[in-house]
Structure formats: structure tokens, C-alpha cells
Amino acid sequence: MIIDRVTALILLALFSPIVSVVSLIVLVKLGSPIFFKQERPGKDGKLFRLVKFRTMKDVRDQTGKLLSDEKRVTKFGTFLRATSIDELPTLWNVVKGDMVFVGPRPLLPEYLKLYSERQARRHEVKPGITGWAQINGRNAISWEEKFELDIWYVDNRSLLLDCKIILLTLVKVIRREGVNQEGHVTMPFFGGSGEDGENGKS
């Protein structure tokens, strides 16, 4: 939507001082690169490059394999995630038209082949910076619950609902609710779903 792109451009300009300061701190604390860039599937599964602030160190074991998220995330990175400041660069994805403000969150490309036919419906709309699942548990709920909330949004989306989601997102960010799933710094890897709806093994 053109309104999303124009609003995102205005917000980028307004938040540019914060982006500049956070960029400098990330460079000092985590090093280069400042931004985390990764391909994610958008509408109809089309890939785009998501941009966020880095929140983890590039720490590897003796074989060159990255350590777990728990061992790489820093206190500063945790703060960025909890306050959603790490999402500010993602406004550029909205300006480009890859994303909108409200929609299912863009996940990993590897998940595309693991979705059930129903779960794949989350890609019928553009992904969003926030969404119905984010205000109803964020990362503290299971994958199946998250996907059902995404599908509900696809079937019931409206301007009024989007406004409600944005307002409730601000409340969630202020309260720092649902940032992590219990026992994990981020959501665990989605391993696919069987007919019973339970996570498969990754």
C-alpha cells in the first residue's frame, strides 16, 4: 500500500538520529556489519532481503560453525530485541514495497517446503513488521498457534484491524511482552507439522 510506503519513509526520517546512534553502538559493541541482512519469503513466497540491526556476535566453534543464539546474543542485543529497536531498519523494506506495517511476520525460506497447505496461506498477503500473532503472544506461543493467528488475519484483515494491531503492538513493546519463547532467546526452528498439528523434528 502506498500509505505504508510513505509513512515508513517519514518515520525513517524522524528516527534517523536514533538509527545513527544505534548504528554507532552496534559497530562498537558487535563490530561490522552493522545490519543483519537475510533473505525472507514475502507475498506468494517471493524472496526479498530483510534488513535489521545486528543483535548477535559472530562467534563460532573450532569447526567454524556458529554457536547457539543463547551464546551469541549480547545484553545490548537483548535490549534491542526487547524494545524492537532492531526493527527500525526494516522500515526500508516497507519503503521498497517488500513489506507492510501489518501482516504475517516474514520467516525463513527453509520453512516454505515445510508448511501445510493451510499454513502456506500466510503468504497470500505481504509480510508485516507486526501482525495479529505478535499481539497475541509474539514469540511466546507455539508455531501452530502463530500460524493459525496469521491465517485468521489473512481472512479478516481490514484497515480498522490494522490500526488496532498497531496500537496494541506499541503496548506490547512498552511492556516487553512475549519477546522470547520459554527456554529460548528466539523462536526454535520450525520442523514442519504433521496432520496432528504437532511440530516435527528439525
Joined together, the cell numbers standing for residue 124 give 497470500
Q: What is the pLDDT along the chain (202 residues), one digit of tens a residue?
A: 899 999 999 999 999 999 999 999 999 988 889 999 999 999 999 999 999 999 887 777 677 676 666 777 788 888 998 888 999 999 999 999 999 999 999 999 999 999 999 999 999 999 999 999 999 977 678 899 999 999 999 999 999 999 999 999 998 888 766 544 444 445 677 877 653 333 333 2
Joined together, the cell numbers standing for residue 190 give 520450525
| Backbone angle region of 131, left / alpha / beta, with phi > 0 → left and psi within -120 to 50 → alpha | beta
Please list the residues that pair with 130 across neighbouring strands.
102
How far is residue 175's CA from residue 188's CA, in Å, rounded to a whole number? 23
Are residues 184 and 140 in contact, defined by beta-carbon separation less than 8 angstroms?
A: no
Query: What contacts 96, CB < 8 A, 6 or more positions away?
Result: 5, 48
DSSP designation for 121: G
